[in-house]
Structure 1
Amino acid sequence: MKEEILISRRLIPMQEKHSNTNKEIFNQQQDHWKDAFFQKADMFGDEPSEPAGKAAEFFKKEGKTKILELGAGQGRDTIFFARSGLQITALDYSQSGLDAITKKAQSLRLANSITALQHDIRQPIPFEDESFDGCYSHMLYCMALTTSELEFLSQEVRRVLRPNGINIYTVRQTGDAHYGTGIHRGEDMYEVGGFIVHFFSKEKVEHLANGYQIMSVDEFEEGGLPRKLFRVTLKKQLGEKQ
């Protein structure tokens, strides 16, 4: 019994230290993204991403019009969604990115279709249950988030979705050329060029789908490497989570 108590006392500070280290690394990533957005007004260009086009088409097909976008960045997909007739609430932790979205929305007369709010996705999503028809995020899930933080995020998205609501997200996958390179940051996370990426296997996609029906997991490529990604489409299941 005495030995067990001593072991327990040794473990608790180590766990707290690990948690604080993760938080510090993520906060550093926040600053890194803020600086990147500030230094380059259109870091990813003005054209919408390919997944945004697929998502908008699917949302409209399913009759989903009120959409939550997580990790909106500088708004290239946000603006596209609004132009497509969707009502968008865009969340991001970078105020400079959100300022860019607001400015673009005003200049394009889309301000009535876009709400841009600063938010740390490690915290509860600041909306009531069943507030949205759909949720979209492009490479937000594969940022410097631990599996436990992703589990929390996945269930927060589920909470704010209406019955049969759709969650579409994209992530870089373990078949990507950068997987296993750079600085290992725990789990399947690697820091490459100053940015930490959490690479997903199909097993991780399935693990995070608790309370959802997996409608599809599509592979696609993007960028110069090219980056290899999954586009995951989920539907909120009715009733209690499994």
Structure 2
Amino acid sequence: MVNQSLKANSVTVEFVGLRALDNVSLTLNRREILGLIGPNGSGKTTLINVLTGQVKPVSGTVTCDGEDISALLPRERALRGILRSFQTVRLFSNLTVEENIEVAAIAKGSSRRAAGRIVDRLLEEFSLGAYRAELASSLNYGDERRVEIARALAAEPKYLLLDEPAAGMNEDESATLMQVLARLPQERDLGIIIIDHDMPLIMRLCHRLQAIAQGKTIGEGGVDEVRRLPAVIEAYLGADAVESEDHA
């Protein structure tokens, strides 16, 4: 049986002499949530871009369910089930919420009728029913985020890569979103990578963590194990973060 996982294998990325990633490997398994953490500029988004095909590494490969997909374009990878969100929301502003989600389902190959059922389910799941006919351009930032994730799910991904999905949300909105995300791996048989700076939520939501700093992996493993690594504490979390989690 083929191992169901998305992998970056010894990936190195350089931008005009700057080494953004230095021999980084990552494995995302189906039915798990992996938290990708690290300080700003550490290479987290670049690694997502490598997995989805927006950035080509100077060395290393990307495999999906055992297949080398390093040469595939972003759209070809999306059709294989690798979907993402961006730090900056990229909705179709002149389409309604319903249409934004529907177009993703149709692009994946669903009929209009099947796409309609997918839209109905996702609008309910993300509490977006009241915004069905609203133009995406009229939404606040938190609602835009929810629509973007719902749109990605409409394409029935195997692997969903979320770059700061809770950005722009208040505490209640963020907690609600995380509750939805927590159910997805088992319900939809998918793997999720989450990049976010809301560490308490990351700690509670993720099954594993991988920490990178200055383009290199400095820790990976179980949540409790990684958050206590001296290199991770020094580079990102701070000792008070570990202590506050212990008393949460």
Q: Same fold (TM over 0.5)?
A: no
TM (norm. structure 2) is 0.31
Higher RCO structure, 1 or 2 (CA under 8 Å, sep 6+): 2
Q: Higher helix proportion, which one?
A: 2
